[in-house]
Amino acid sequence: MRLILRGLLFLLVPLLPAQNNPSARNAFLNPELLEAFDYWNISNPSTNFHSSFKPYLSSTFSAIKDSLVPFRFYGFNNQFWSKTLQEKTKKRTHLNFQVLPLADLAAGYDMLMQEPVLTSIAGIHLKTNINNNFTFAFTGYGGRISFPFFTDSSLSSQKIIPESGQAYGKNQPGYTFFDYTGYISYSPGKSNIFNFQLGRDKHFIGDGYRSLLLSDFAPAYPYFRINTNVWRLQYSVWYSWMYDVSTASGFKSKYGNKYGTFHYLSYNVIKELHIGFFENIVWRGTDTNQIRTFEVNYLNPVIFYRPQEYSVGSPDNSFLGFNCNLTLFNRLKIYGQIALDEFYLKEIRARRGWWANKQGWQVGFKYINAFGIKGLKLQCEYNQVRPFTYTHGLVDQNYSHYGMPLAHPLGANFKEYLGSLNYRKNKFEIGFQGIYAVVGKDTAGTKSNVGQNIFQSYNTRSSDYGNYTTQGVKTNILQGQLKFAWFIVPELNLRLELSYIQRSETNSRNYILQNPYFFLAFKTSFWNSYRDF
C-alpha cells in the first residue's frame, strides 16, 4: 500500500499547477467548526456554497475570512502546526504538511449509579496537501471510554460506540477501542468543477442538528465519491461499503457485508433559497441465491433507483428525500426535510394507518446574533418519523451501518422537539440544549413490532392498518444539558469543558428513570459525539 501511494504521488505531482490555497481537503464534521460555518453562511449567503452537504470541500469556501465570525475558533483555512515547502511561485510543486494532536480526557460522575465515568482518548491527525488539488488525510485515535447509565444501557449489548465502532470490555472501568478515518482527494484542473475522493469517513445531509436523510451518527465507512460543482448546482454521488452486525454477537468475523449508493443534487435557486434532492439504495452482500458484491447496475451516477432496482430482479432497500432552506435578513435560516421510504398516495388519502406509509419530516430554524447580541445563536427543531421507516423485510438490508441508524438515532416511530441557546465570545462559550421526544416502543418480553426498532423485519409487524406515530409503549424522553467551555487554544479546538446533563425517561408502563450526570473534559475532538439518544 505504501508503494502504491508513493507511486500515485509521483504521477500526480508533475501534473499539478502551483497554488498556495489547498482546495481538495474536507472540513471537519465537528460542532464548533460547523457553528462558525453557520455564522458565515447565514450572514453572507452565496450561490456557490451548498450548506446542506457535509463535509464541506475547501474549494467551496476558499474565499472565507475568519474575521466574518464573531468569536475565535479553529479557523476555516486552518494552518496551525503546518509547514509549507517550496512556497515560491516559480516552483512548480509545493507541499504542505499539517499535524494536529487529538485528545479527549474527561472525568465525570453518574449520580444515578454513583460511579465515576472516565474517558481517556488520544490520537493524531495528519494532512498533506500537494499544490492546490491533491490532499491526503489520516486520523487515528483510540483509548478507553465509559458512559453514564442512560447511554450505556443502549450500547452494552453490542458494545458499539456510535462514532467509533466496535469496543471491548465493560463500561466500568471502560470500553477500549481504536478507530480511524482518512481520504485521498483529487480535484483535476484549475476550475474545481470535479473532485474525486477515496476514503473512510462519514457524510451528513441537511442543515439541522439531526438529519432524516443521512447523518454522522453511525461509525465511518469506506467510500468512493465524485463531487461536481457547476453554476449553482452541486451534484454528489458516492458508493459505500458497510457492515451488518445484527447477528455477529460482537465477532468481526461474523459481520455481513452490505453496500450503498447515494446521490444528492443541491441547487441554490438564489443566494437565500436552497433546495436539494436525495436518493439512495442499500443492499446486502448475500441473498438466498448468491453471494453478491457491489451491484454494477448501481454504479450509474444519474439514474433514479426505484425502477433500476427492479430491473436487476432484486427489491433492494431504497428511499428518496427532499431538503430545503431559506435565509432571511442575514440572521435567520429556516430549514426542512422530507424522507420518503414508501409513498402510496391512495393509502395516505385513505387515512387508515397503513404500515407501509413510511415517511419522516423535519422543520427548524437557526437565528444567529440573536436579538442584536453578537455570538448568540438560537436553534429550534422538530422531527417526526412514522413507524417502520428505514426498515426492510431483510434486517441486513435496513438503513443502518455497524448496528447504528444511518439517519436519526431514535430509529422510527417518534416525535422529537429540540432547542438550543449558545453564546460565544472570544475564547468562552456557554450553552444550553433541551430535547423532548415521544417514542413508541415494543412491549418488553413479547414479539410485538410497532415499527420503532429498525433492526426488526417489517414482516413481523403487529398490524397492517391502524398504525400511527408513537404507537406502542409510549416513552417520554427529556434531556437537558448545560455547558461552559473555555477554548485554551481556539486554533487547535483545545478546550476545557464543564457540562451537566439531566436525563429523564418515563413510559406508560410506569418505568421512571432520573439520571443526573456531570463531567469535566479537556479535549480537541474533531468529530461529533451524540449522547442524547
* 490: preceding bond cis by omega (within 30 degrees): no
CB atoms within 10 A of CB 313: 8
Reading the chain (533 residues) residue by residue, the pLDDT tens digits are: 333 333 433 333 333 333 457 889 999 999 999 999 999 999 999 999 999 999 999 999 988 889 889 999 999 988 888 888 766 555 567 889 999 999 999 999 999 999 999 999 999 999 999 988 999 999 999 999 999 999 998 888 888 999 899 899 988 889 999 999 999 999 998 788 999 999 999 999 999 999 999 999 999 999 999 999 999 999 999 999 999 988 777 677 778 899 999 999 999 999 999 999 999 999 887 655 556 666 777 777 776 665 555 555 557 888 899 999 999 999 999 999 999 988 788 888 888 999 999 999 999 999 999 999 999 999 999 999 999 999 999 898 999 999 999 999 999 999 999 999 999 999 999 999 999 999 999 887 677 899 999 999 999 998 999 999 999 999 999 999 999 999 999 999 999 999 999 999 999 888 899 999 999 999 998 888 988 88
Q: How far is CA 502 from the centre of its chain?
A: 24
Residue 222 grid cell: 469506506
- Its pTM stands at 0.92
H/E element, 224:
strand 221-230
Q: What is the DSSP letter of 286?
A: B
- As a whole number of angstroms, the distance between CA 398 and CA 203 comes to 18
- As a whole number of angstroms, the distance between CA 312 and CA 473 comes to 40
**H helices within 247-393, ranges in order?**
305-311, 345-350
Residue-by-residue DSSP string for 516-529? EEEEEEEE---S--
In angstroms, what CA-CA distances link 464 with 386, 387, 388, 391, 459?
14, 11, 11, 15, 10
All domains of the chain, ordered by start, with CATH?
2-523 (2.40.160.130)
- As a whole number of angstroms, the distance between CA 521 and CA 119 comes to 9
**C-alpha triplet 35, 41, 43: angle, nearest 5°:** 100
